[in-house]
Structure 1
Amino acid sequence: MRLIKSSIVLFATFILIFSLAACGKSEVQKVRVGEVTHSIFYAPQYVALSEGFFEEEGLEIDLQGTFGGDKTMTALLSDGIDIALVGSETSIYVYAQGATDPVINFAQLTQTDGTFLVSREKVENFSWDQLKGSTFLGQRKGGMPQMVGEFVLNKHGVDPQTDLELIQNIEFANIANAFASGTGDYVQLFEPTASIFEQEGKGHIVASFGKESGHVPYTTFMTKESYIKENKEVVEKFTRAIYKAQKWVETHSAKEVAESIAPYFEDTPIDLIETVVERYKEQGSFATDPILDEEEWNNLQTIMDDAGELPTDVEHGILVNTDIAESVISE
């Protein structure tokens, strides 16, 4: 009789363990994330992946390249992706078009511009007024890089419309190749391209747009309002994983960060990744928490307005949800 009871208890325990395992397995949820471009600038996102922070939260991330703000928004609005990593200006453009299901910024990843000014010739004692009379190969009109670029030029007394020849009709993916082929005296580039050009003697980094522009919600995670309502727990878990990664990046060296994200940049030498990470850490480009505050939001709209690209002024609370980030941080 005792043997039978023991067998029953053992069987029940097995069933319980199996059920819990099955239950845990079913809780893993796939989240499709579209990134506007693939860049070391987004290091905390790759740390969240490589260090298993998303996995700890029961999330499986399907990371997709959407390449361009307009394409990223199209993918999000058409349910091709669940969450977008893109500049906050895109949410304002969508809102201004009368969207019935607005796109909400819920977790900030980068807090400065991520581009650098690269000159074709080596420049001694660089000053911004040296751009006057030059040909400047900028970024796509209406995107954050171009708007920040114009904002910084104006800040230093250089009118991008009259003081230089501004080229901004080249596709994002082709800008670096255009400069390498001989177009422009100066170009605005992301890393690691800027450092690669410097190593190869194709250009020289002379200034940082991130240092000059101040804090701005340059790249944030956003999703449709309806997705947050229907998947609030998923968004909370996602934000928690990002916050863990942000603190990890903040407390680890550039070398350690480079080693963590290297699998996502197989064609980039590890020492170059480290150089780029150090540069971004030094200028405070990586947000240390996911909260997009009102001051940053207003700075964004000032930059958009100065560039003539702000379709309508939008209050912080309309397109920004800080409740989720604040809740995660307070845990």
Structure 2
Amino acid sequence: MTLTCIRVNVRQLTQTDGTFLVSRKKVDNFSWEQLKGSTFLGQRKGGMPQMVGEFVLKKHGIDPHKDLNLIQNIDFANIANAFASGTGDYVQLFEPTASIFEQEGKGYIVASFGTQSGHVPYTTFMAKQSFIKENAEEIEKFTRALYKAQKWVETHSAAEIAKSIHPYFEDTDLQLIEKVAERYKNQGTYASEPILDEEEWNHLQDIMDEAGELPKRIEHKTLVNTSFAKKAIDD
């Protein structure tokens, strides 16, 4: 691989995992210990949701491959439908599906993987070094626009955010979108600035290593270029 083919992280959008633990039954006093011996409908092996899920489970003393009946052979697009049809006691779901299930009585949100796993560069933008070299101005403009949007989200209410993005989720109730936005704001899922810092980078590698999916640790400076994000903040 030549240097110009290496993809470099240039900015960050979200800083926590966006999935939630959904129980089939309503649980008044949830504890992670309750998962032991249950059937858990997990995510794809090696995918970010599954790696974060395993990290959180192990944090609470649960070996996902020994203490659970872990199901991972269902396609990502069909996981929610499989749970709705009766498969599993617990499932790991993104929003707005998790809240929709709760609203319809198909499941109950009992925990957030995002709050349990801590800050991690979950959604980032990457580019080849050759592209960065040839299109620096475009990357600067995009990063400034992203930072402007991040500041807007940080300073506006969940109701305002929901109203702004509702056209992209026409089939979803506006109040439900507001609930989802409020939940993500409260747990700090939306990054307030585009810098992917070294602590987050190392935590990501810890999660990947714990899942057995990291062949080799890479230094932050090798695959992260913060110059565009810093310039956007300073301008």
TM range (shorter): over 0.9
Q: Which runs of 5+ in 2 are unaligned?
A: none
Aligned equivalent of 1:118, options 19, 22, 31: 22
Matched, 1:233 2:112: no
- TM-score of the pair, normalised by structure 2: 0.98
Q: What is the Cα-based RMSD across aligned positions, in Å?
A: 0.9
Specify the alignment match of 2:149 in structure 1: 245
Name the CA distance, whole Å, in 1 between partners of 2:156 and 2:86. Answer: 39
Q: Which residue of 2 aligns with 1:170?
A: 74
Find the counterpart in structure 2 of residue 133 from structure 1: 37
Aligned residue number for residue 155 of structure 1: 59
Matched residues in 1 for 2:49 and 2:2: separation? 25
- The superposition leaves residues 266-292 of structure 1 with CA deviations (integer Å, 9 ceiling, x where unpaired) of 111110100000000000000000000
Amino acid at match of 1:274: E
Once the 2 structures are TM-superposed, how far is the Cα of residue 312 of structure 1 from its aligned partner?
Answer: 1.1
**Alpha-carbon deviations, 1:136-179, whole Å to 9, x = none?**
11111111110000000000001101001111122111110111
Counterpart in 2 of 1:275? Answer: 179
TM-score (normalised: structure 1): 0.70
Shift of 1:99: 6.4
Aligned AA (1:231) = N
**Hey, what does 1:261 align to over in structure 2?**
165
Q: Residues 244-299 of structure 1, C-alpha deviation per residue, up to 9 Å, x if partnerless?
A: 00000000000001111111111111101000000000000000000000000000
Q: Does 1:293 align with 2:215?
A: no
- Provide the C-alpha distance between the structure 2 equivalents of 1:230 and 1:131, rounded to a whole number of angstroms: 51
> 5+ unaligned residues in a row in structure 1: which ranges?
1-97
Paired with 1:169 and 1:219, the residues of 2 have a C-alpha distance of 24
Alignment length (residue pairs): 234
| Correspondence for 1:308 | 212
C-alpha displacement of 1:217: 0.2
Superposed CA offset, 1:229-253 (max 9, x none) = 1111001100000000000000000
* RCO higher in structure (CA 8 A, sep ≥6): 2
Q: Give 1:225 deviation, angstroms.
A: 1.6
Q: 1:99/1:311 Cα in 2 relative to 1: closer, same or farther (>3 Å)? A: farther
For residue 61 of structure 2, what is the amino acid of its counterpart?
G
* Whole-angstrom CA distance in 1 between matches of 2:172 and 2:127: 31
Displacement of 1:103 after TM fit? 1.2
